């Protein structure tokens, strides 16, 4: 950097320091701002940032290279990210990709000479029910057509917002009449919690049987109890809004339409466990929602629903802050998320210790999914018995499902837990399905013989993603798409996951070319088992699922028989 | 002397505490999980409960204590936990979020247990 630039840069750093603090956990927001204004992160900038925060440049570099949205290479003023995940692929991604390359005269991974546009692929951006989808910087475009590409590029060139095509995300949500969104009286859950006290609040959650809605299905009451008895004056509530599992987009709809209920749930959580601070970790792809969410938080502060002495309760103060992710799926794993909040590479931690006692900055932390907090708010308001009216013995309540793929009516549906796959398919117009993937890229693929099974923690568990594939769909292509996703998203910390996914991908490619022997297929399945057993986090433990269940349930699609 | 119910999934602890309490003239009974514990409270009608936190679920003891209180059980409850040694973290009941009379980390010395039991039984009489 030349002298004058350096002065200007120092000034910029001071401003960012004032806004985000001068500690390590300010690193991500600082880098996010810098890349926004400079379109690159040069070695000089990295050194300056390191100096400013009193850490090593290598640490900053390590972070910069971990997150796809912080890619230090020079990029265009308008960064176009096209979703390459299967649902968008099925909805015409290839044609859009061609159109983009043609209009811009560059390939994916390149930047136009005038520095105006760069073109990249990205993984599922949570618009699977309205693909093909892409991001231009933080703006989302859905149901993109070749004609729209022309208009988008024209609008950007002219730098005129009004020239851009109108294409806002549609938040389709079908609810149950007496379900989660029935009888909503603002803040009735929070008021109830404050009136019955902390112990009784947790008891209500325990009694409801609520299990985490983020996928792993851990009992929420247990988590809250363990955090509540941890003896530390500083505790945190973290809301996981990283929603990166391909085919999952319910949290996007909840935060768009019901953010108040989510924040109410976080506040109840804060009260119950004894935290003064909550953090919502919002995936970078949902940055477009940030102004909306911030305005709701501001409104809540004005209404004494956040801040000091909430609803005049003498000893209860709580506030919520929003932190943005930067394009890394693994950051949805709760310990990776905490690392990310601390300004580090989003690499999952060893457990134990668990976040309930050693979480954010080493303090007890409850991490829950967006929907879990919303459900908690509703349980406090309507009572545990109301919640238990729905679902099965071990899977109480209703749940939101993100439905995408080959069906007439994709979108988000509220349904009772324990619903049969066949019932769900009928509801969304997907009766002709040849295969359904339950639980996203890390879930499993089932065939019609399993359509009478139930979606619940006892049987087919899911964080809510249901992808439907019709007769025409080549299922090896689906498995390949998912495996490419995992190869890209593995944090690389542990060998089974880092190398295993690559081998499974190669295996799928061999199957596609009819070059895989039955003996080798057997080895691949055994590799999958090893990965499930030996990977450090849920990513590597579940990435082989779709492949192994495909071999199990669709021998005809594989083309060969495995040699048992 | 009093009727004391010990609820813990660790049979060694149940036996050791049982022997100790019986030496001091108390009558004891035991249960090894939450559901059994709930039943024994009904049938044995204890004057005091010694309750473990982690059984089948990591918070079974906490849930049971709250359930018993909400059903009207008013006798003293001593909660013993190895939660801290399992998690390597300091745990307690400072804010009174659990409806128990004493919250103690395991191990507890025999003297300490006997004097705690004595104090609670006198206090509630
Ligand atoms: C690779 C990976 C990605 C994950 N992504 C998410 C996510 O985007 N949102 C989420 O709520 N949980 C996600 N989880 C699960 C979290 O680790 C954690 O279990 C969850 O946030 C806890 O909240 P809950 O109990 O309310 O579900 C992910 C787990 C793994 C292993
Ligand atoms: S399993 Fe994969 S994502 Fe998880 S820690 Fe290991 S390498 Fe990283
Ligand atoms: S947004 Fe493209 S698959 Fe989800």
Q: Check: CB of residue A446 under 8 Å from CB of residue A553.
A: yes
Is A118 a pocket residue for ligand 2 (Cβ < 6 Å)? no
> Cα–Cα distance between B49 and B51 in angstroms, integer?
6
> Cα–Cα distance between A72 and A74 in angstroms, integer?
6
- For the CA of A132, the closest atom of ligand 3 is 2
Mutation site, B60, B63, B70, B96, interface A, largest A CB count within 10 A: B63
Query: How many Cβ atoms are within 10 Å of A540's Cβ, its own excluded?
Result: 27
Judge if A145 and A87 occupy the same domain.
yes
Q: CB-based contact (8 Å) between A228 and chain B?
A: yes
Structural domain range at position B55: 3-121
Per-residue pLDDT of chain A (564 residues; tens, 9 = 90+): 666 688 899 999 999 999 999 999 999 999 999 999 999 999 999 999 999 999 999 999 999 999 999 988 888 999 999 999 999 999 999 999 999 999 999 999 999 999 999 999 999 999 999 999 999 999 999 999 999 999 999 999 998 878 888 889 999 999 999 999 998 999 999 999 999 999 999 999 999 999 999 988 999 999 999 999 999 999 999 999 999 999 999 999 999 999 999 999 999 999 999 999 999 999 999 999 999 999 999 999 999 999 999 999 999 999 999 999 999 999 999 999 999 999 999 999 998 889 999 999 999 999 999 999 999 999 999 999 999 999 999 999 999 999 999 999 999 999 999 999 999 999 999 999 999 999 999 999 999 999 999 999 999 988 899 999 999 999 999 999 999 999 999 999 999 999 999 999 999 999 999 999 999 999 999 999 999 999 999 999 999 999 999 999 999 998 875 555
- For the CA of A535, the closest atom of ligand 2 is 1
> Cα–Cα distance between A130 and A141 in angstroms, integer?
9
Ligand 3 residue neighbourhood (C-beta within 6 Å): A 83, 85, 87-88, 124-128, 131, 133, 246
| A435-438 vs A444-446, strand pairing mode | antiparallel
Q: Which of A96, A170, A159 is nearest to A127 (CA)?
A: A170
pLDDT, residue A3, reads 60
- For the CA of A87, the closest atom of ligand 3 is 3
Q: CB-based contact (8 Å) between B63 and chain A?
A: yes
pLDDT, residue B86, reads 78
Q: Do A229 and B66 touch (CB under 8 A)?
A: no
> Cα–Cα distance between A378 and A367 in angstroms, integer?
18
Q: Do B92 and A231 touch (CB under 8 A)?
A: yes
Residue at which a domain ends, from A469, A489, A523 = A469
pLDDT, residue A184, reads 94
Judge if A112 and A228 occupy the same domain.
no
Task: Name the residue facing B62 among A225, A354, A357 (closest C-beta).
Answer: A225
Judge if A372 and A407 occupy the same domain.
no
pLDDT, residue A180, reads 97
Say whether pLDDT at B62 is over 70.
yes
Whether A174 is covered by a domain: the verdict is no
**DSSP, res A215:** S
Whether A183 is covered by a domain: the verdict is no
**Residue with the nearest Cα to atom 5 of ligand 1?**
A332
> Cα–Cα distance between A213 and A461 in angstroms, integer?
10
Judged by its nearest atom, the ligand closest to the C-alpha of residue A143 is 3
**Which residues have C-beta within 8 Å of that of residue A85, sequence separation ≥ 6?**
A123, A124, A128, A246, A247, A441, A481, A485
> Cα–Cα distance between A179 and A389 in angstroms, integer?
10
| Residue B46 phi, psi dihedral angles, 5° rounding | -70, 155
On chain B, the residues whose CB falls within 8 A of the CB of A202 are 62, 66, 97
Judge if A56 and A197 occupy the same domain.
no
In a mutational test of the pocket of ligand 1, which residue from A125, A126, A205, A215 has the highest number of ligand atoms less than 8 Å from its CB? A215
Judge if A369 and A482 occupy the same domain.
no
Judge if A99 and A207 occupy the same domain.
no
In a mutational test of the pocket of ligand 1, which residue from A369, A442, A532, A541 has the highest number of ligand atoms less than 8 Å from its CB? A369
Q: CB-based contact (8 Å) between A314 and chain B?
A: no
Query: What is this structure's pTM?
Result: 0.96
Structural domain range at position A412: 398-469
Judge if A454 and A358 occupy the same domain.
no
- For the CA of A242, the closest atom of ligand 1 is 8
Judge if A443 and A496 occupy the same domain.
no
Task: Name the residue facing B87 among A199, A219, A352 (closest C-beta).
Answer: A352
Say whether pLDDT at B23 is over 50.
yes
> Cα–Cα distance between A16 and A552 in angstroms, integer?
53
Whether A182 is covered by a domain: the verdict is no
The whole-chain average pLDDT of chain A stands at: 95
Whether A522 is covered by a domain: the verdict is yes
**Which residues have C-beta within 8 Å of that of residue A266, sequence separation ≥ 6?**
A237, A239, A278, A280, A320, A373
User: Into how many domains does chain B fold?
Assistant: 1
CATH of the domain at B104: 3.40.50.2300
pLDDT, residue B87, reads 76
> Cα–Cα distance between A543 and A535 in angstroms, integer?
10
Judge if A425 and A482 occupy the same domain.
no
- For the CA of A348, the closest atom of ligand 1 is 31
Could you tell me the two tokens for A397? Answer: 């309540």
Residue at which a domain ends, from A388, A420, A442 = A388
**Residue with the nearest Cα to atom 19 of ligand 1?**
A216
Q: Do A199 and B99 touch (CB under 8 A)?
A: yes
CATH of the domain at A194: 3.40.50.11540
Say whether pLDDT at B48 is over 50.
yes
Q: Do B57 and A222 touch (CB under 8 A)?
A: yes
> Cα–Cα distance between A504 and A481 in angstroms, integer?
12
User: Into how many domains does chain A fold?
Assistant: 5
In a mutational test of the pocket of ligand 2, which residue from A338, A491, A501, A533 has the highest number of ligand atoms less than 8 Å from its CB? A491
Is A278 a pocket residue for ligand 1 (Cβ < 6 Å)? no
| A365-369 vs A435-438, strand pairing mode | unpaired
Whether A59 is covered by a domain: the verdict is yes
Q: Do A226 and B66 touch (CB under 8 A)?
A: no
Mutation site, B86, B92, B95, B105, interface A, largest A CB count within 10 A: B95
Residue at which a domain ends, from A129, A163, A197 = A163
Judge if A500 and A457 occupy the same domain.
no
Q: CB-based contact (8 Å) between A10 and chain B?
A: no
Model ipTM value: 0.94
Task: Name the residue facing A219 among B57, B87, B94 (closest C-beta).
Answer: B57
Judge if A247 and A339 occupy the same domain.
yes
CA-nearest residue of chain A to B85?
Answer: A353
Q: CB-based contact (8 Å) between A222 and chain B?
A: yes
The pLDDT confidence band at residue B125, using thresholds 50, 70 and 90, is very low
Judge if A436 and A481 occupy the same domain.
no
CATH of the domain at A498: 1.20.1440.230
- A476/chain B closest Cα distance in angstroms: 40
pLDDT, residue A2, reads 61
């Amino acid at each position: 950097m030349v002298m004058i630039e350096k002065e200007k840069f120092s000034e910029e750093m001071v401003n960012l320091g004032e806004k985000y603090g001068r500690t390590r956990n300010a690193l991500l927001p600082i880098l996010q701002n810098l890349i926004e204004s400079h379109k690159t992160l040069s070695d000089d900038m990295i050194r300056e940032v390191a100096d400013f925060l009193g850490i090593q440049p290598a640490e900053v570099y390590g972070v910069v290279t971990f997150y796809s949205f912080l890619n230090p290479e020079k990029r265009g003023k308008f960064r176009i990210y096209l979703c390459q995940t299967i649902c968008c692929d099925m909805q015409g991604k290839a044609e859009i990709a061609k159109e983009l390359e043609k209009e811009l005269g560059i390939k994916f991974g390149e930047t136009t000479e005038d520095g105006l546009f760069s073109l990249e692929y990205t993984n599922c951006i949570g618009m699977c029910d309205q693909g093909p989808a892409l991001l231009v910087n933080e703006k989302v475009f859905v149901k993109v057509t070749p004609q729209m590409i022309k208009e988008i590029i024209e609008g950007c060139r002219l730098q005129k917002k009004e020239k851009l095509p109108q294409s806002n995300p549609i938040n389709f949500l079908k609810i149950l009449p007496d379900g989660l969104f029935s009888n909503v009286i603002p803040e009735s859950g929070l008021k109830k919690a404050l009136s019955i006290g902390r112990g009784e609040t947790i008891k209500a959650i325990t009694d409801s049987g609520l299990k985490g809605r983020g996928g792993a299905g851990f009992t929420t009451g247990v988590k809250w109890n363990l955090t509540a008895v941890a003896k530390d004056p500083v505790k945190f509530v973290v809301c996981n809004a990283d929603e990166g599992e391909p085919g999952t987009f319910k949290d996007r709809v909840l935060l768009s339409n019901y953010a108040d209920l989510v924040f109410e749930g976080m506040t109840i959580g804060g009260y119950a466990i004894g935290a003064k601070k909550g953090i919502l970790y919002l995936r970078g792809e949902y940055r477009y929602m940030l102004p909306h969410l911030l305005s709701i938080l501001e409104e809540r502060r004005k209404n004494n629903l956040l801040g000091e002495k909430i609803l005049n309760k003498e000893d209860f103060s709580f506030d919520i802050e929003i932190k943005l992710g930067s394009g890394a799926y693994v950051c949805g794993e709760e310990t990776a998320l905490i690392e990310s909040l601390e300004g580090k590479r989003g690499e999952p931690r060893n457990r134990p210790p668990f976040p309930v006692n050693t979480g954010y900055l080493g303090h007890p932390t409850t991490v829950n999914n967006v929907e879990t907090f919303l459900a908690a708010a509703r349980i406090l308001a309507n009572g545990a018995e109301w919640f238990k009216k729905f679902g099965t013995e071990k899977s109480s309540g209703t749940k939101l499902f993100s439905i995408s793929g080959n069906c007439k009516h994709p979108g988000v549906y509220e349904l009772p837990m324990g619903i049969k796959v066949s019932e769900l398919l009928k509801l969304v117009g997907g009766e002709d399905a040849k295969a359904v993937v339950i639980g996203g890229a890390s879930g499993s693929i089932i065939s019609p013989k399993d359509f009478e099974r139930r979606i619940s923690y006892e049987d087919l568990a899911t964080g809510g993603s249901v992808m439907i594939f019709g007769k025409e769909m080549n299922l090896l292509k689906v498995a390949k798409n998912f495996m490419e996703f995992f190869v890209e998203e593995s944090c690389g910390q542990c060998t089974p996951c880092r190398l295993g996914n690559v081998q499974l991908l190669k295996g799928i490619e061999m199957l596609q070319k009819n070059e895989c022997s039955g003996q080798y297929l057997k080895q691949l399945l055994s590799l999958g088992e090893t990965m499930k057993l030996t990977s450090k986090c849920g990513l590597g433990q579940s990435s082989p699922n779709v492949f192994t269940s495909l071999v199990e349930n669709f021998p005809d699609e594989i083309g060969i028989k495995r040699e048992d | 002397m009093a009727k004391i119910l010990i609820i813990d999934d660790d049979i060694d602890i149940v036996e050791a505490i049982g022997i100790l309490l019986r030496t001091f003239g108390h009558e004891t009974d035991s249960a090894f999980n939450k559901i059994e514990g709930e039943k024994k409270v009904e049938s044995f009608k204890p004057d005091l409960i010694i309750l473990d936190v982690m059984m089948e679920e990591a918070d079974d003891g906490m849930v049971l204590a709250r359930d018993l209180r909400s059903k009207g059980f008013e006798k003293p409850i001593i909660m013993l936990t190895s939660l801290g040694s399992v998690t390597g973290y300091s745990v307690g009941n400072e804010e009174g979020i659990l409806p128990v009379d004493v919250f103690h980390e395991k191990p507890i010395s025999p003297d300490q247990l006997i004097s705690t039991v004595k104090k609670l039984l006198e206090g509630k009489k």
